[in-house]
Chain A
């Protein structure tokens, strides 16, 4: 199933892509004055590797049949995926100002019917992996070698439907399915592990028949290796990458906050956050 790493006619570095995703997301957050900024900053490195190293797609044709499917199970992370899609050229940058506004193509929760490149309507948590199972079965039926990626959160490990889907993926030998778990240990009421303990995470997936990797989700070289391993691993097992991420990564004064599931940022703090990013532009 191995494929060459796509060259997109660009020599922009992955750190620069991740930086740009964070910047686009912050600008969208500023439009609303609040939002799921902590998740967007935290998962930016994962999305940089997914969108600019691992997945095949055509920015000008988001519905291209040969594309790898990228499912956003966590609809509230839409701000992060919009940022990545703007960086990828699927969405125009000047639509940032419409984020979450009336008549926007970028609603606060990701929905397939609104946004080019948004594959599913996430948001009701615990559904993405099950839909990905069906899509992976469908791709195999068609003899289509594309992968299905499903980006979910650690909180979704609490949903029983996640484990129904996990068992089924192994049962049906879906080696074209790659699940990404953004493990930031933060959900609406506080730390995920305090809400419904899911430890140990990787052994659970392995026990369910998956090829599991655990990685620092803010370490770009480690992520590249993990994505490569997931795509190239031989055998029938579906693959999961547990990405341990830091909420608000890249903006220190936000990283220092206790509760970061849904952030309200004072008007002057947006400029402060953007100024910080602009002081550390990667090569």
Chain B
């Protein structure tokens, strides 16, 4: 191990320290933060809606919650199908064990909670009771990455790093409401366990204008360009599309490759796009810089011998601050202005 200078493990800066972008102080938006709702059409509770559509045609669909149905859009299903909904109480280890038991008896359980509680608290139960036996339990978890300003207790900045190591588990990080609905149907149709990062509440409709259709395990080029290739997942694809438009005004031509399935990763498409010479490759994800999409893409390109300039937009390896979501996205580099600024700096290097 290399020497670590004394004091290198510095504490997080005071919450009273100056922000990188001075200005109006926003209220912490707690658990019900919206993503870019202003000026964009939204769809209410897309996951809950899709689950009800599924249940209308499949008797095997059941829903479970650990006291967070209202915050995972499971309440929509619980109200429509009360006899097919199981309230398991504030007990996440039980939530996933019981889902495994229901799956053993032929049902397809959708189990929902916050991403922090599934990944940090119930990992062993998901791993042994569900994944090792390849049971069709569908896990959908709200507040992935930095989607709440509530603080580290509710910010699942490392859920992908945790779950990518779990064999058999399919992992999906949808961009918007359209994809959330499509992915819910696709995941229900696939055998085996799945984990979906859930955008809940009023979720923007972004991909509608691209005529997009989710396909499990497939990355899709949403926009072509000669200077920069964004490789992004989750709501960061919303941000890279906006950044591409902003950069276009400055004469920078950006492509966007959307990668909603984190595992299994569509390495063929990623390598094909990355091998086109001359482009700066920028991965963008709503996750820690450790163990998420960026490192998965980087390792894949190295294994394939693809040479390219490579940069990552991701959350730092820190416990994040509490605050208002727009403030935090700006502070940690996920906002459109921060993306465009950094890309221009990288192009000038």
Chain A interface (Cβ < 8 Å from any Cβ of B) = 111-113, 119-121, 123-124, 126-127, 129-139, 141-142, 144, 160-161, 164-165, 167-168, 171-172
With A127-B129, A130-B129, A171-B89: A161-B102 Cβ-Cβ less than 8 Å: no
A-B contact count (CB 8 A): 98
Which of B86, B103, B125, B133 is A130 in contact with, Cβ under 8 Å?
B125
Task: Show 12 residue pairs from A and B whose CB-CB distance is below 8 angstroms, ordered by the A residue.
Answer: A123-B128, A126-B93, A127-B124, A127-B128, A130-B129, A131-B100, A161-B93, A161-B97, A167-B91, A168-B89, A168-B91, A171-B89
Q: Which of B100-130 contact A (CB under 8 A)?
A: 100-107, 109, 124-125, 128-129
Contact: B89 with A161, CB < 8 Å?
Answer: no
B interface bracket (residues with beta carbon within 8 Å of A) = 20 to 34
Interface string of B133-172 (1 = CB under 8 A from A): 1000000000000000000000000000000000000000
Contact: A131 with B101, CB < 8 Å?
Answer: yes
Task: Give the distance in Å from the alpha carbon of A134 to the alpha carbon of B130 in the complex.
Answer: 12
Contact: B105 with A130, CB < 8 Å?
Answer: no
| Residue of A138, A139, A165 contacting most chain B CB atoms (<10 Å) | A138
Contact: B107 with A141, CB < 8 Å?
Answer: yes
* Chain A CB within 8 A of B207 CB: no
| Residue of A127, A129, A167 contacting most chain B CB atoms (<10 Å) | A127
Contact: B105 with A165, CB < 8 Å?
Answer: no
Contact: B97 with A133, CB < 8 Å?
Answer: yes
Interface of A, helix, strand, loop or mixed by DSSP: helix
| Shortest beta-carbon distance from B78 to chain A in Å | 15
Contacts of A126 in B (CB 8 A): 93
* Chain A CB within 8 A of B196 CB: no
Task: Give the distance in Å from the alpha carbon of A142 to the alpha carbon of B102 in the complex.
Answer: 11
Task: Give the distance in Å from the alpha carbon of A172 to the alpha carbon of B88 in the complex.
Answer: 9
Which of B98, B109, B124, B132 is A133 in contact with, Cβ under 8 Å?
B98
Contact: B89 with A130, CB < 8 Å?
Answer: no
Contact: A127 with B101, CB < 8 Å?
Answer: no
With A127-B129, A164-B94: A135-B88 Cβ-Cβ less than 8 Å: no
